Chain A
Amino acid sequence: DTGVSQDPRHKITKRGQNVTFRCDPISEHNRLYWYRQTLGQGPEFLTYFQNEAQLEKSRLLSDRFSAERPKGSFSTLEIQRTEQGDSAMYLCASSPRKTGAYEQYFGPGTRLTVT
């Protein structure tokens, strides 16, 4: 396994612009998660996919946020009309399909700075 990868690693954008992040999970992991981590805090759950189905969304995921996993492989997270409060590290994680395997494997994250 090559691990979870995320692109880009860093993104600086101006307020009001749209941004899109990509996550490639560990191959054959059918579950994919997005979390947001602000400075000095633990990660907070945003959303979760099982294969291509988005099964849960946090209240943190406002209307400006949308996530997709079109073929059950990679996922994208888009933020429209970015605000300074969106500045954070966005973490992606995946977990395998095996029964009883509950651990999540995290990628390196995308650090977003909104100026």
Chain B
Amino acid sequence: AQSVTQLGSHVSVSEGALVLLRCNYSSSVPPYLFWYVQYPNQGLQLLLKYTTGATLVKGINGFEAEFKKSETSFHLTKPSAHMSDAAEYFCAVLGNAGNMLTFGGGTRLMVKP
């Protein structure tokens, strides 16, 4: 069975600072990994995904993530935080059968002016 752990339920950064949101996964098969963002009272928007190939993947809004098999990690980064990045971020892994997503508990990103 898959599982996802997001270290830090709340992360606070200053505007312009580096954003680092941590995600570690457990999977019995090569994982397909995703990051989603959720703004208040809205659904989830896909930021980026890793399936196969290049381990550094770029997504929307300047975010990127690196798949590290040896560390079972898929951390999300952005070089310079913007106020509009304040939201909840979820890391997810796809199930063995290629259907259900298993999500981490989420990390709330706060951006200080």
A: residues with CB less than 8 A from B are 4, 6, 31, 33, 35, 40-45, 48, 55-56, 58, 91, 93, 100, 102-109, 111
Contacts and interface: CB of A to CB of B under 8 A. Distances in A.
B46 A45 contact: no
Given A43-B90, A111-B41, 19 more contacts: A6-B43, A31-B99, A33-B99, A35-B101, A41-B106, A42-B90, A42-B92, A43-B44, A43-B103, A45-B102, A56-B99, A56-B100, A100-B51, A102-B49, A104-B101, A106-B43, A107-B43, A108-B43, A109-B43
Given A42-B105, A102-B51, A107-B43, A56 B36 contact: no
Interface in B37-56: 41-46, 49, 51
A46 B6 CA distance: 21
Contacts of B97: 56
A42 to B, nearest CB: 3
A30 to B, nearest CB: 12
A29 B98 CA distance: 15
B46 A103 contact: yes
A102 B101 CA distance: 10
B63 to A, nearest CB: 15
A105 to B, nearest CB: 7
Most chain B CB neighbours (cut-off 10 Å) among A43, A48, A111: A43
B90 A48 contact: no
A50 to B, nearest CB: 8
A111 B99 CA distance: 24
Nearest to B105: A42
Interface string B76-100: 0000000000000010101101111
A54 to B, nearest CB: 11
A43 B45 CA distance: 13
Nearest to B48: A103
Nearest to A111: B41
Interface in B1-25: 4, 9
Nearest to B90: A42
B44 A91 contact: yes
Contacts of B67: none
A105 B101 CA distance: 12
